[in-house]
Amino acid sequence: MTMDEGTLDEASGRNDRARREACRILGIDEDADERAVKKAYRRACLKYHPDANPGDEEAHGRFLLVQCAYELLTKGTICDLLLEEMKSEVPAAAGDKYNRDNQWGFFMWWRDQFFDEPVD
């Protein structure tokens, strides 16, 4: 079975978004090395582990997301829980003027982060 160009682009975009989401969950930069990923994973596990948060279902859900994020960044495996998190995420935060879910919106946001004056 072969993938057509549209399907391949769609899968590639999904994988890029999943990687960005995994980095956001672990609180690391997208260019973080393996050591930084492991350190962030351990820190997040301690913070959200069910034993440290008895009865807190939200913490348990975050713990599972942390595990999914780590697996994606270390093994390249995207879990369904991470995909669901991406679907439920609001594309642009309230008060945010750019939708960073697409390449153009992300570029415009990035440009504002690094340049003082907006380019018209």
Q: What is the CATH number of the domain that holds 68?
A: 1.10.287.110
Number of structural domains (the chain) is 1
Helices and strands (DSSP H and E) totals, the chain? 5, 0
Q: Is residue 120 part of a domain?
A: no
Q: Is residue 27 part of a domain?
A: yes
Structural domain of 35: 8-87+95-114
Q: What would the pLDDT profile of 16-71 be if each residue is shown by its tens digit?
A: 888 988 999 999 998 899 999 999 999 999 999 999 989 888 888 899 999 999 99
Q: Is residue 1 part of a domain?
A: no
Backbone torsions φ then ψ of 16, nearest 5 degrees: -65, -45
Say how far apart CA 30 and CA 41 lie, in whole Å: 14
The single-letter code of the amino acid at 84 is E
Q: Is residue 32 part of a domain?
A: yes
Full-model pTM: 0.64
pLDDT value, residue 17: 86
